[in-house]
Amino acid sequence: MLITERQRMVQDIESWAGQFGNDRSSLMPILQNVQKKYSRISEFSMQAIADRLEIHPVEVYGVVSFYSFLKDEVHGKFVIRLCQTITCDMAGKDRVAKQLENDLGVSFGETTTDGMFTLEYANCLGMCDQGPAMLVNDQVFTCVTPEKVHDIIQGCRQSLTAFAGLRKES
């Protein structure tokens, strides 16, 4: 029997709650899993998580809207977050930002039409002594230059394996 995406999502949430625990302490790992599998955290999934963990939906909405890495709308396969805080700003963040926009053909806050990349700013990533710093999904890149931007994007496009190999700072 075929099941709908909503039914599958409820089954997944059940399974993750079984794995991480049936209380609010499992909220974050369940949200991360929903996002990883479904690319976004829909209203339906937030309600299903709240029901499963027996917490108020507002609590779930609050967590999703507080953390910039949790998304309630569709985003690219690769979410690039460039640090805009002062140390990275002084280390050349603007040149990196321009290169990202040029290479991807979108502005910050947008997703490429092929659904591959979303471009966003982030606040300090804790790598201030190696700025400019940026995240590509959960991978940190440091000492980013315009040239390195090109390599990182190419790596993402080619394969996840190539992408992993470019993590090391230049």
Structure tokens given for 58: 């507002």
Answer yes or no: are the C-beta atoms of 132 and 143 closer than 8 Å. Answer: yes
Whole-angstrom distance, CA of residue 83 vs CA of residue 86: 9
Q: Give me the sheet containing 78-83, strands edge to edge.
A: 117-122, 78-83, 134-136, 139-141
Q: Which residues contact 116 (CB under 8 A, 6 or more apart)?
A: 76, 77, 78, 156, 157
Rule CB under 6 A: choose which of 13, 27, 104, 133 binds ligand FES. Answer: 133
Return the exposure string of 8-33: e unless at least 16 CB atoms fall within 10 Å of the residue's CB, then b.
ebbebbeebbeebeeebebbeebbbb
Looking at beta carbons only, is 85 or 145 nearer to ligand FES? 85
Nearer to ligand FES, 54 or 138 (CB): 138
Could you tell me which stretch among 2-10, 34-42, 122-130, 151-159 binds ligand FES (CB under 6 A)? 122-130
Q: Does 140 bind ligand FES (CB under 6 A)?
A: no
Asked if 49 interacts with ligand FES (CB under 6 A), we say no
Tokens at 102, concatenated = 């040029």
From residue 72 to residue 91, the character string flagging contacts with ligand FES as x (rule: CB under 6 A) and all else as - is: -----------x-x-xx---
Is 127 among the residues that bind ligand FES (CB under 6 A)?
yes
Indicate the residue among 70 and 128 with the shorter CB distance to ligand FES. Answer: 128
Q: Which stretch binds ligand FES (CB under 6 A): 1-9, 38-46, 112-120, 128-136?
A: 128-136
Q: Report the interface residues with ligand FES, using CB under 6 A.
A: 83, 85, 87-88, 124-128, 131, 133
